[in-house]
């Protein structure tokens, strides 16, 4: 049974989608055993508590540096024997030390078709640029911002009347399906990394 820790800073809708996928068998042989946030007010923590999942808050202001912050998280996650770290709206860029501790065991989902529109404004930037197609990307986390090897992507058309909110809502629907699929592939050992490419061995 693979032990998953979810890192979230906000609402936690992807956390809810992952828990639903585990409950209905789309993800097997894995469970979320821990939810971590950098914000005490994150609703993701409430979601976790409703599912009787232990939570922990690591407040950045309690640590003298990013490195000290991540080192504390590394020690905690390793003590909890975490197999996979899943970022679900975790709004912090992790350090190289964190990446090294969980190499190819940290996933993130981003609301654009990477490498286009990285960063925290992926939906707004895509809409402002005038693209006709956008989507979402599940990728492994590396030392850069949204630069790790891509696991899965899915596209959707941008409508002429889309706003940031309407486009975000439709991308969220994609995320809630795609993220559990990527996690299931990892749990089943189906993802093979060759250089920058993630090959899916079905």
The answer for residues whose C-beta is within 8 angstroms of residue 47's C-beta and 6 or more apart is 12, 15, 16, 19, 35
Sort strands 150-157 and 133-140 into parallel, antiparallel or unpaired.
antiparallel
Strand partners, 32: 4
* Residue 110 is a catalytic residue: yes
Active-site residue identified among 51, 104, 110, 172: 110
Q: Are 112 and 134 in contact (CB under 8 A)?
A: yes
φ/ψ region of 192 (left if φ > 0, alpha if ψ in -120 to 50, else beta) reads beta
| N-to-C CA span, the chain | 20
Residue keyed to tokens 């749990």: 187
Q: Which two tokens stand for residue 118?
A: 């990285």
DSSP-derived 3-state class of residue 101? helix
Instruction: DSSP letter for 63, please.
Output: S
Q: How far is the C-alpha of 202 from the C-alpha of 191, rounded, in Å?
A: 9
Active site residues: 110
């Amino acid at each position: 049974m693979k032990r998953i820790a979810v890192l979230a800073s906000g609402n936690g809708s992807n956390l809810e989608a992952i828990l639903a996928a585990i409950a209905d068998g789309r993800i097997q042989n894995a469970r979320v055993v821990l939810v971590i946030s950098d914000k005490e007010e994150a609703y993701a923590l409430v979601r976790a508590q409703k599912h009787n999942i232990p939570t922990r808050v690591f407040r950045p202001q309690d640590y003298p540096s990013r490195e000290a912050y991540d080192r504390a998280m590394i020690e905690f996650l390793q003590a909890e024997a975490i197999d996979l770290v899943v970022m679900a709206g975790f709004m912090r860029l992790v350090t190289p030390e964190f990446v090294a501790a969980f190499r190819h065991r940290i996933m993130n989902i981003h609301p654009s078709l990477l490498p286009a529109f990285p960063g925290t404004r992926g939906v707004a930037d895509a809409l402002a640029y005038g693209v006709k197609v956008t989507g979402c990307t599940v990728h492994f986390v590396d030392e850069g911002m949204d630069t790790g090897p891509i696991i899965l992507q899915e596209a959707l058309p941008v409508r002429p009347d889309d706003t940031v909110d309407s486009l975000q809502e439709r991308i969220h629907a994609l995320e809630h399906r795609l993220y559990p699929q990527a996690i299931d592939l990892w749990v089943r050992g189906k993802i093979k990394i060759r250089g920058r490419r993630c090959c899916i061995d079905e």
